[in-house]
Amino acid sequence: MAGDLIPPLRAEALIREHFPAFSSENVDLEEAQGRILREDLHADRELPPYDRAAMDGIAFSSAEVAAGRREFAVVGFQPAGRPASRLPAGEGSCHEIATGAVLPIGADSVAPYERIALRDGRAAFEEGFTPGPWANVHRRGSDAARGARLVSSGMLLTSPEIAVAASIGKARLRVARKPVIGFVSTGDEIVAVEQAPLAHQIRGSNGPALAAALRRFGYSLSKKMHLPDEPEALRRGIGALLQSCEVLILSGAVSAGRTDLVPAALEACGARRVFHGVAQRPGKPFWFGTGPAGRPIFSLPGNPVSVLVCLYRYVLPALENASGLSDLANETAELASDYEVKAKLAFFLPVRIESRAGRLLAHPQPPNGSGDFAGLAGTSGFVELQPGPNRVAAGTAVPLYRW
């Protein structure tokens, strides 16, 4: 690591500064869930587009009720999906009506079946029931005027926004394009998941964990490569991925040891270091830079806890930001018990989250050192504690990152 360690907030700011925004693309509505909208959606008609019955019952003129009428002759039925019927000229008539139907011409009010008695072709109002104009009518334009902005660019698309898009006829939506993301793992002790490791070997878990984390946010890992701890092989492999990937993530060989060859290999490929070393535990040797074409490169320490923590703390928020997400999650939780941070490093503490009476309680689940990724199973995520020496008291609000 070169020079001083920088604090996490500074690392985050430098990443944003060097991370170009993704372009956008059009996708089918059914593919749009979880994507980030990159256009404003406007009402193509008034919403609702017509005076719409909000209940099943009868439609009539409220002026007659105001004048004292308590009973109407039922002379027609207005179903949904049919043009508006017309009440007869003169007084005393109503039409039955279905929820969702357009109000008959001449009617301005709906009485639900629950408040009327229907007998021998006549509808009589319940005692004391005196509906005024527009009772149980969802009035034309009352939700939105034609041309009104219904959904803004930058919004994460969930089911309500998809419903709105469908209702205004947007069968395709403009959303942030997903980048091509590449991953390089290093470490000569690593074998594939399917392989039986020798006594001094372990199976590689960073690729699968990274792919899962990306997938949870709707990204996919396009290209994967495992490279040996050997300068020329690293240079060639990294060079190839820098050509084909828009975001490159590496794990391992980024610290100060004899086989920590990744920073040199990156620089040999024309990458430019933005920082190397963050005042945090785990993940201190984190290197970030940009490729020859300005593409972001995250070179993370190889141990699985560091990889996961750096992914959720830096990489995923950077992807969301580059996608144009307007409302980046800044969730906090209350630490459920005191926790002592000893080193002068920000500490990422795994926690189990409990929702209790509107509060998020973060119960510390400290791993057994930064190599203990098994200890992360069943945790909800981690919180970020300020550098030590400091005793963080129970009840302190701390930033929360969820797996």
Instruction: By CB under 8 A, name the one of 96, 108, 246, 320 that touches a copy of itself.
Output: 96
Of 63 and 202, the one with the shorter C-beta distance to a copy of itself is 202
Size of the residue set binding a copy of itself (CB under 8 A): 123
Residue 71's nearest CA partner among 88, 92, 91 is 92
Residue number with CB closer to a copy of itself (16 or 403) = 403
264 is a site residue for a copy of itself (CB under 8 A)? no
Whichever of 14 and 205 has its CB closer to a copy of itself, that residue is 205
Residue 103 phi/psi, 5-degree rounding, is -70, 135
Q: Is 204 in the site for a copy of itself (CB under 8 A)?
A: yes
Q: Is 105 exposed, middle or buried (0-12, 13-18, 19+ CB in 10 A)?
A: exposed
Residue 206 near a copy of itself by CB under 8 A:
yes
Contacts of 307 (CB under 8 A, 6+ apart): 206, 209, 210, 251, 300, 301
230 counts as binding a copy of itself under rule CB under 8 A? no
168 binds a copy of itself (CB under 8 A): yes
Q: Least distance in Å: CB of 166 to a copy of itself?
A: 4
Residue 285, token pair as written in the block: 């040797």
Residues 6+ positions from 362 with CB-CB distance below 8 Å = 333, 334, 335, 336, 349, 351, 352, 353, 383, 398, 400
Only one of the segments 10-18, 120-128, 235-243, 375-383 lies at the binding site for a copy of itself (rule: CB under 8 A); that segment is 375-383
Quick check: 279 binds a copy of itself (CB under 8 A)? no
Kindly tell me which of 260 and 320 has the beta carbon lying closer to a copy of itself: 260
Site for a copy of itself in 111-130 (CB under 8 A): 113-114
Q: Which stretch binds a copy of itself (CB under 8 A): 62-70, 169-177, 234-242, 286-294?
A: 169-177
Beta bridge partner(s), residue 6: 278
CA distances from 345 to 207, 284, 363 (A): 27, 8, 21
Q: Does 104 bind a copy of itself (CB under 8 A)?
A: no
Where are the strands (E) in 122-235, listed by range?
A: 122-125, 137-138, 149-151, 172-176, 181-186, 190-191, 202-203, 221-227
Footprint of a copy of itself on 4-63 (CB under 8 A):
29-30, 32-34, 43, 45, 47-50, 52, 54, 56-57
- Decide if residue 229 touches a copy of itself (CB under 8 A): yes
